Structures are given as C-alpha cells and as structure tokens.
C-alpha cells in the first residue's frame, strides 16, 4: 500500500498548493503588520483561527462531510495545538527578547527538524545527498539574508532596528507583544499565547538572561511545529483534509481565548478605534492565510514528503523580503540578494531529490512483471515481484 506521500495526484494541484503555501504565507507578514498595529496580537490569532475554523467546518458539514467523529477529531486537535498554538506561540513569545533576524534564522532550522524527527523517512532522507545538501544550503542562505541585521543588532545598535530590516517590516510604536507577532506571520498570528502573557510580566526579573531563554523556547517551538506536522501526516484518520484543517484551526482559536483574557488584552482593546485597514487585513488572514494557505499545507502533508513541504520555512522569508522591496520601499544589499538566490537553489535541490526518487519508483514499478508462484499445494498464484533497492 503506498504511503501518503506516494499517492498519485495531479502535478498541477501540487504546484498550486505549493504556490499558495510559499507566496500567501509569505505575504501574511505584511497583513499581520497592519492588523496588530491596532488589534492585540493574541486577539488577532483568536479571531483568525476561530472564524476560519468555524467557516471550514460549517462548509464541510454543508457538503456532506462527517464532521463530528471523535476518532477523527482527536488527532486533528492534537496536531492543531502543536502546530498553531505551541509552535507559533513560542515564536511570538521569543520575539519579545530577540531581534527578528535571529528569530528568523532559528525558525529556518525547521526543515532540519523534519528530517531528524521523520523516522519513517530516515533511510530515504539520509541516503539522499541532494536533500541533505539542500537543507544545509538553505539554512546558509537564510543566515546570509539576515546576517547583516543580526550583526547590526548584536553590535548594540538596537534590536528594534534589526527587527525592522530582518523581516522587511516593523510596527511603529508597537508594544513588545505586538512586535513579537509580526515575525510569525508566515504561518499565523497564533501560538501559545498564555505563555507569552506570563513571560511578558516576568521579563524584568533581575538576573535572568531572557534572550538565552527565548532562544531555547524558540528552538522548542520549531520542534513543536515539525512534530505537529508529522503527527498530522501520519496520525490523521481517513477524514477529509478540510475537516482536519477545520478542527486544527478551531482548536488553536479556542486555546487563544483564555490566553487573551489572562493577558488582559480585552481591557486595553476598543473595537471602535480599529481602522478599516486592520479589519481588511484580518479578513485576508482568515480567507487566504488560513482557509486557503493552511488547507493547502495540510493537503500537501498527505501527498508529499514532510521534508519537501517544510521548504516553506525557507521561501516565506524570501517572499516577505520581496514584498517589502516592492511595496514598502525596503532596500536590499548584495549579500541579501545572494542569500535569496541560495535559498531558491536549496529548494530546487530538495525538490529535485524527491522528483528523482518518485521517477525511479515509477520506473521500477513499470518494469516489474507479474510472475507465477506456486504454493505448497501446487496451486498457481500471481504475485507482484518484489523490488530490491
């Protein structure tokens, strides 16, 4: 029986899904910026995922999908919390204490965790020189892309300036929590917000090296994102991808409710002060970022290898930088351009390795004849000759 990543699917559908995950998730940086400028970050995540999850599940129910099946709901809820609550939440919390450039570099280690944690694919991944080389080259490209801002921030010029240059946008006058969220826009304005709320209050504790703690938390969050992706890939039941995505988003949105209340966001938030641009940005995050982008991501996990899907962690910052150049008058140095080119080469290497593996498998299957095999009773049976790798 073929594994989920070996399922025959339309190449056009795969290309479209990757384009959505690469481009749409990269564009959410800009819309997160507009939304959190006037709406508290955890409330943005709450509204985004609650609305998107409810819409998705209602649509699935209206089209005849089986929505309320506990054996299907349980893995979706678990993976949703790992991906959208703990994974991105760690990034949100960490960027209160780290420049966005450093956070982006640590976040780009995600594909490496996919390779290390995907035990079922160890043999395939570690035997592929293109895959390993692509992962290392992509990580090096991210370092080049944000290296100048990182050195600038570490030299004492200010974390805020580094954050502005690293992710191609900044939120003028935003609070520490709001500034933390814009770096997570490639996936969602979501995460373990309860932790973020508690961490902000204790940030001033004397004798604590909070940047070091934030780096550790961000590392754990990256592992959580990879773990949630693999859990969703291998533990999801026969339910549709749309239903799974709906429960994942709804679970994250519900988890944001107590976290937003505990953090005191509601007491500081006034609906009448929110401009139309922020509401339109949240609308974009719900429709394109979640309903389209996250659904495409969940589907890709079922039809392509987790390592291949994880390349979005390299491409999303590239899209964000390009959008900043074209629409926010950001400037790019030669080193940053080199980093962008290297990242694209890494994605090409990883996808090339997967394409070659699939082509080899199809070729062997086509050449494999059906041969007669006799059992102990002398009765002939037809068996497919096993392929030796």
Checking if the pLDDT of 42 tops 60, the result is yes
CB 239 within 8 A of CB 66: yes
Quote the pTM value: 0.65
What is the rounded distance in angstroms from the CA atom of residue 312 to the CA atom of residue 299?
A: 14
What is the rounded distance in angstroms from the CA atom of residue 242 to the CA atom of residue 253?
A: 16
Checking if the pLDDT of 382 tops 50, the result is no
Output the CA torsion sign for 116, 306, 79, 110. Answer: positive
Checking if the pLDDT of 192 tops 70, the result is no
Tell me whether residue 360 is exposed, middle or buried, using C-beta atoms within 10 angstroms of its C-beta: 0 to 12, 13 to 18, 19 or more: exposed
More confident residue, 155 or 312: 312
Please tell me the predicted confidence (pLDDT) of residue 53. 95
Checking if the pLDDT of 81 tops 90, the result is yes
> Residue 37's pLDDT band (boundaries 50, 70, 90)?
confident
More confident residue, 26 or 270: 270
Residue 149: C-alpha distances to residues 142, 154, 343 (Å): 12, 9, 18
> Residue 126's pLDDT band (boundaries 50, 70, 90)?
confident
Report, as an integer, the average pLDDT of 134-151: 74
CB 224 within 8 A of CB 67: no
The highest-confidence range among 35-39, 179-183, 237-241, 271-275, by mean pLDDT, is: 271-275
The highest-confidence range among 126-130, 154-158, 276-280, by mean pLDDT, is: 276-280
More confident residue, 92 or 82: 82
- Taking the CB of residue 376, how many other CB atoms lie within 10 A of it? 5
Report, as an integer, the average pLDDT of 141-154: 68
Domain ranges of the chain: 4-200+208-384
């Amino acid at each position: 029986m073929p594994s989920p990543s070996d399922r025959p699917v339309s190449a056009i559908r795969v290309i479209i899904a990757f384009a959505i995950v690469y481009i749409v998730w990269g564009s959410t940086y800009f819309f997160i910026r507009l939304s959190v400028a006037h709406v508290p970050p955890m409330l943005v995540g709450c509204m985004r995922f609650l609305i998107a999850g409810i819409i998705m599940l209602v649509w699935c129910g209206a089209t005849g999908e089986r929505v309320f099946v506990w054996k299907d709901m349980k893995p979706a809820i678990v993976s949703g919390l790992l991906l959208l609550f703990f994974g991105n939440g760690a990034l949100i919390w960490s960027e209160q204490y780290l420049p966005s450039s450093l956070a982006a570099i640590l976040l780009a280690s995600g594909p490496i965790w996919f390779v290390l944690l995907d035990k079922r694919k160890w043999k395939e991944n570690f035997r592929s020189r293109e895959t390993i080389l692509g992962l290392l080259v992509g990580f090096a490209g991210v370092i080049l892309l944000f290296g100048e801002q990182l050195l600038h921030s570490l030299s004492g010029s200010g974390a805020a300036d580094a954050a502005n240059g690293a992710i191609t946008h900044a939120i003028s006058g935003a609070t520490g929590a709001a500034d933390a969220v814009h770096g997570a826009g490639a996936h969602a304005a979501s995460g373990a917000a309860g932790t973020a709320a508690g961490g902000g209050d204790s940030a001033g504790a004397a004798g604590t090296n909070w940047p070091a703690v934030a780096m550790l938390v961000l590392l754990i969050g990256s592992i959580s994102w990879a773990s949630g992706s693999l859990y969703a890939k291998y533990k999801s039941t026969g339910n549709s991808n749309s239903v799974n995505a709906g429960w994942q988003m709804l679970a994250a949105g519900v988890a944001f409710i107590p976290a937003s209340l505990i953090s005191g966001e509601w007491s500081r938030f006034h609906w009448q002060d929110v401009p139309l641009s922020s509401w339109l940005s949240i609308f974009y995050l719900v429709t394109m970022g979640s309903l389209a982008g996250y659904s495409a991501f969940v589907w890709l996990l079922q039809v392509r290898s987790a390592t291949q899907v994880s390349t979005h962690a390299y491409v999303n910052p590239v899209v964000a930088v390009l959008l900043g150049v074209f629409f926010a008058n950001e400037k790019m140095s030669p080193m940053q351009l080199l980093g962008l080119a290297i990242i694209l080469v890494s994605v090409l290497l990883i996808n090339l390795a997967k394409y070659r593996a699939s082509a080899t498998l199809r070729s062997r299957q086509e050449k494999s004849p059906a041969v007669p095999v006799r059992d102990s009773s002398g009765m002939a049976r037809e068996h497919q000759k096993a392929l030796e790798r």
